[in-house]
Amino acid sequence: MTLLLVVFFSRVPAAITMPEVNTDHLDEQQVQLLAEMCILIDENDNKIGADTKKNCHLNENIDKGLLHRAFSVFLFNTENKLLLQQRSNAKITFPDCFTNTCCSHPLSYPLELEENNAIGVRRAAQRRLKAELGIPMEQVTPEEISYLTRIHYKAKSDGIWGEHEIDYILFVQKDVTLNPDPNEIQSYCYVTQKELKQLLDKASKNEVKITPWFKLIAETFLFKWWDNLPNLNKFVDHEKIHRM
């Protein structure tokens, strides 16, 4: 592990060597969240350290190999409709984009670092479902969140900010109470498969914006999983990381 750290950080200079990025023009609440400590990983999802959300999302660091752990939640109601959100225009990466139910990061502290059956990631998902969508913690417990597989992707939001993540794909099917934080979410809706395909078609014509990870997942795996909500076990793959 020591050797791995030396090799990794020789590719990724310490954050103090990076030019300072001015965040004065950004939303104050979102800037405060940039201090959160994300989990640094290698390309096989092994923990190798921690760094701020800010440093993890600067393209200059991403281009030098900085990679962090993340998750994407897909929550369906009992009518088999998928809950989508539109990210607020206060978001630093991919503002105004439509995306899946909840997308965020486990943080580098003990409860969310625990890896057995991705329990730390599932705890983080419960936390963020409450923070973003106002879903009471007791309505979606970590045990009710199914971990399917992981994807590895990279995407630029603009010239400064971007994403480089190994993303845990999490599914939930339950009717929940919603009270979204407007600083996180500007709109939300439940959609059928047909309605989502219409949204994806609009996005292909640049009539609406969707997040790159949601586009990748929707175009590769989502509808197959959606067709098999009662039988997701056959799609569980905790060994492979899908490189996208």
Domains belonging to the chain, first-starting first, are: 36-243 (3.90.79.10)
Residue 235 has what pLDDT?
Answer: 96
Residue 5 has what pLDDT?
Answer: 36
Residue 220 has what pLDDT?
Answer: 96
Given a cut of 50, the residues of the chain with pLDDT beneath it are 1-19
Residue 162 has what pLDDT?
Answer: 96
Active site residues: 103, 165
Partners of residue 239 on adjacent β-strands:
none
Q: What is the pTM of this model?
A: 0.90
Residue 14 has what pLDDT?
Answer: 44
Residue 31 has what pLDDT?
Answer: 65
Residue 10 has what pLDDT?
Answer: 33
